[in-house]
Chains A and B, each alone.
Chain A
Amino acid sequence: MRRFDSALGLEARRGPVATALKVLVYTAMIVVFTGPLIGLLVSAFGKTLDPTSFTLWPDAFTLTNFVQAADKNVYTYLLNSFVVVGFGLLLQMLVSVFAAYALARKKFRGMTVVMLIMLATMMLPEEIIAIPLSLVLADLPLLNLDLIGTYAGMILPVGAWGFSILVMTEFMKEVPVELEEAARIDGAGELRTFFTIILPLCRPALGVIGVFGFTMIWDQYLLPLIVATEPDMWTLPIALRSLRSDEEVGIGVLLAASLLALLPSIIAFLAFQRQFMRGLTSGAVKG
């Protein structure tokens, strides 16, 4: 009898027709979903001058576009992106592990409310609050700080990320209580227990929130668009628009910059695939 490991039972079928069909389907999928990205990779190294030379087949190999990119400040934008994602991710992860520790390991009044509030923010798309957020950033209540046009304005808001807190909390709940109590009996303080016992045990979850946080912050568009008022503070994704309309250079510089803006998230995904897939279903909450 045939085995049924899948709904269509495709993997059980053998023979030339079935094999040919499978190869066709898989190839088509790979071409359709990676084609545009490979096109970008190839074209960025080509002598592209007009939009129509975007191609999957290389005509030449040249680094001209990347050299010209320097004149157009592309590497400054790239650096800005790295600054924002670096500090933003650090802040987000720290804030999340601290909050998760309280939510997972402590019992206190108001815990359910805090949890609900954090979940609620995950249902609130940041686009909706873009306009009032820009006003709040321009004049932080009580502190009277103006964060528009500062790196802090792009970094601080990404620190509040419900998804990371949620994933971390669920993971921390699984860490056995005995370990914590043993540490306490040995005289370790609260922070010490947290940093030497709990956090090292949460390394897999740190990987999950790290790689998701990275892709999320790298992909930020509206926030830097609002905050970075001066061109020299632009992050790479929002700089692409001005590169496109720059008539001094061809489309090649745009392609080179696009490739640079694309690579970090792809590298992060390929390097941390397992964590990424693991967080995917829990990430479905946020999407």
Chain B
Amino acid sequence: MALTPYAQALGIEIDHDEAGEPVLRVDYSNRVAGRPGFLHGGAMSGLMEMAGFAALQAELTRRGESMRLKPVNIQVEFMRGGTEQVTFAKGSVTRAGRRVALVNAEAWQDDRSKPIALAQIKVLLIPAE
């Protein structure tokens, strides 16, 4: 799976695969910094959005479907300030029908049981060709 220019420029990488769903990571750097010492909320959101799209793309590939993905909306809940360390994110497909998909994503740092943010993403599926 190829990450977008935005994801690559920000330093987002695929860390590993977890039961068919990619886990994304971004190392802490000035590029993702908000207030001194903390991760920017927009960078967290971008990471979770990419994780959501990656999980959806993986699911569609498993089904043998070729779709264009158009984001409809994203709702992000921030629960903790992200600190100066590596951040992970993983998406999970809640429901992918023929026309629309609902994907959840979570972001965490050193303690997976304490996510720093959650996201719900709605995506329109448009058959390619």
Check if A and B associate.
no
